[in-house]
A and B are shown apart, each in its own frame.
Chain A
Amino acid sequence: MQTKPIALTILDVVSIIVLGISTYLALVFAPTEAVMGDVQRVFYFHIGTAWVGLLGFVIAAVAGIAYLITKDMRWDRFEVAAVEVSTVFFFITIVLGSIWARPAWNTWWTWDPRLTTAAVTELIYIAYFMLRQGLEDPEKRARFGAVYTLLGGLSAPITFMVIRLFRTIHPVVIGNASAEAQGGFSMTTDMRTAFFFALFAFTVVFIDMIWHRLRLGALEEKVEQLKLNVSL
């Protein structure tokens, strides 16, 4: 039976601490934005979760390539972990964006290029799990997953770049916004501190969750193998 490594326990504690600090910086330390009020504070978690969400989808694509080259099942496990954790974080991104949009744009949702590509990206990865479940052969499933995440991974840079390339009402934090952008704001030094710490905090939490998911994947594989042995 695998025991939990001490480094993972430490990472669990560090994750809780940095997430707590990030929440404090976002809710207390950062000043209230003059036009939007307190709802602007969701921006810190919105960007933090979006960062790890999109990063995970790219990591999954890289893991997919590594699996196709090496045929090592550990890459498949890594790919699944990255997709699952990122799908959860990206779901939070979309919900937070919608909550922010209600007072800022006077609507919960609009089919803006950024919102559309984000929704499509999330649906692509929800479908990934549904389709994987339909395949019983582990090798076939891993091969399918690798090709799927490789193609699905393209949606991450598209989602990131779409507000920089097309006319959109979604504001841009780094870079030039479209002339139609609504709800943008310039960050003060304290806002920047909260912003960059949120990116750091979510990166730590992301690594922690990936590690846990990898351990779960290893256990799943062991159970699947034993089931095969017993049935033979």
Chain B
Amino acid sequence: METIPDTSGYMIAGYAISFLTMGIYAASMYIRHINLKRDLETLESLEKETKKKK
């Protein structure tokens, strides 16, 4: 009877890379969102100041 080859290492690597990639992408979206929010706040206060000066 033939034995099933042990290829579990490849499987673990595959799933690890899949979750890691999705995790990195989700984190990148979160970081970009935080940075944009900060930029938005700064720009809004700058715009207010500019309007006051005018």
**A binding-site residues for B, Cβ under 8 Å:** 1, 23, 27, 32-42, 45-46, 49, 85, 88, 91-92, 95-96, 99-100, 102-103, 205, 209, 212-213, 215-216, 219-220, 222-223, 226-227, 229-230
Contact = CB atoms under 8 A, between A and B. Distances in A.
A85 B15 CA distance: 18
Given A37-B5, A99-B10, 14 more contacts: A27-B15, A34-B4, A36-B5, A37-B7, A39-B11, A39-B14, A92-B17, A96-B14, A99-B14, A100-B14, A219-B36, A226-B44, A229-B47, A230-B43
Interface in B13-54: 13-15, 17-18, 21-22, 25-26, 29, 32-33, 36-37, 39-40, 43-44, 46-47, 50
Nearest to B13: A99
Contacts of A95: 14, 17-18, 21
B22 A230 contact: no
Contact of A88 (B7, B10, B15, B21): B21
Contacts of B4: 32-34, 37
Given A1-B37, A42-B14, A216-B33, A226 B43 contact: yes
A76 B7 CA distance: 44
11 contacts: A27-B11, A35-B5, A42-B14, A45-B18, A46-B14, A99-B13, A215-B33, A216-B32, A219-B40, A222-B40, A230-B50
Nearest to B50: A230
A32 to B, nearest CB: 6
A23 B11 CA distance: 12
Interface of B: 2, 4-8, 10-11, 13-15, 17-18, 21-22, 25-26, 29, 32-33, 36-37, 39-40, 43-44, 46-47, 50
A23 B22 CA distance: 14
SS of A interface (majority): helix
Contacts of B13: 99
Given A212-B29, A216-B33, A219-B33, A230 B47 contact: yes
A156 B45 CA distance: 45
